[in-house]
Structure 1
């Protein structure tokens, strides 16, 4: 019992707790800005869930919703920051189109194993929360160096995807793109969070644009985790079927 209490009272553990509460480097203005960013992000996730539900009802997800997502992003980024209400509406519409676009994947998961959707969502939320917290408690600008490496990695993945779509690709290459893409967007959570903090310290308090950036990271992480879970579930079912036939 003494060793248990001494662990929580040790200087090393106190340092960990203090680090988790160390937001002194973030000014109150930036803290309020981050609250707005995460609240807007939550609203965008709700809109995305509505879009996925609409696809399940009316099968609206497809090329048009993908184009609507890209168009909404471009329209949002080109709208002046002082048109706040319009930009929020554009963000929610873009999130709704995005949810409808991944609706076919969610529909597939429902038919294969509905619990995979909850598992993917929980895993995405945990990954996002952990890496966002790491960026928040870290020293300012500590992870901004990741930007160049992440951009280079994303460019490599885009070229691999482009070449494999033209010349064909192997299963190993597809798995490499899937898992490395997941790692890249997890890294983007850290980088984008610190970049948002630095931009806010510099006076850029555009919470709609910042929420859009984090929303993009979240969706990409969720899609890749769900695909990985679907592939693992299909592999398990295939092994079960083989054992039954033997």
Structure 2
């Protein structure tokens, strides 16, 4: 019985119909695949670890400030990596979009921040309920656009998301001021909040500008094709 089972096992791993060179090639392919899977797992672990550390960073003792800054810097680096695919797509259409989106994000961020700094009544703190409800609507709209493949709904979601993110800049800035006035001087955690707001605005502005520029090029190509005579 054991001999029979062993013969079945040996037959399972016999690939005599595949040439030796192809077998060696497949070994390299699957060895490389295993390495890639391991590296992907390590990258995912590092990302999750840094995110988890950021979530609990407000509870860490001030004595570990250097470690917290290191975690913050690592998270910022990974965020840059995460933007890579979007940046690559944007560069393929028009590299100037990146600079335009960055300048636009900076202007929006500075203007809304100054608005909060000059507001003595902390009126933007009451935006919390509206912003949370808007996030739920955005999530529902996004899932609907993915499920039905609606381009119009996706664009509406992008514009509304940009508006909501601007609202979060107002709310988060005034919340940071309010906390600081009450003794909470955790600048690292407050930096995380504003950094996320800035990146969110930058990402959405890039998507909006990218979509418009791509549509312009599509229309221009169609017009050019119509102008070219078809008869020889």
Measured against the shorter chain, the TM-score band is 0.7 to 0.9
Aligned pairs for 1:102-121 within 5 A: 102-121=83-102
Distance 2:52 2:121 in 1: 30
Aligned pairs for 1:51-200 within 5 A: 68-79=46-57, 80-82=60-62, 83-165=64-146, 167-200=147-180
What RMSD, in angstroms, separates the aligned Cα atoms of the two structures? Answer: 1.9
Q: Offset at 1:244? A: 0.7
State the SS of the aligned residue for 1:204. coil
Q: Offset at 1:69? A: 4.5
Instruction: Assess if the C-alpha contact under 8 Å between 2:116 and 2:122 holds in 1.
Output: no
Q: Residue 4 of structure 1 aligns with which residue?
A: none
Distance 1:93 1:150, change over 3 A: same
Distance 2:74 2:196 in 1: 14
Distance 1:65 1:180, change over 3 A: farther
Structure exhibiting the larger radius of gyration computed from Cα positions: 2
Distance 1:128 1:87, change over 3 A: same
Report how many aligned residue pairs link the two structures.
Answer: 184
TM-score w.r.t. length of structure 2: 0.74
Unaligned runs of at least 5 residues, structure 2: 1-39, 227-232
TM-score w.r.t. length of structure 1: 0.70
Residue 202 (structure 2) pairs with residue 222 (structure 1) = yes
Unaligned runs of at least 5 residues, structure 1: 1-61
Greater than 4 Å deviation, 4+ residue runs: 62-70
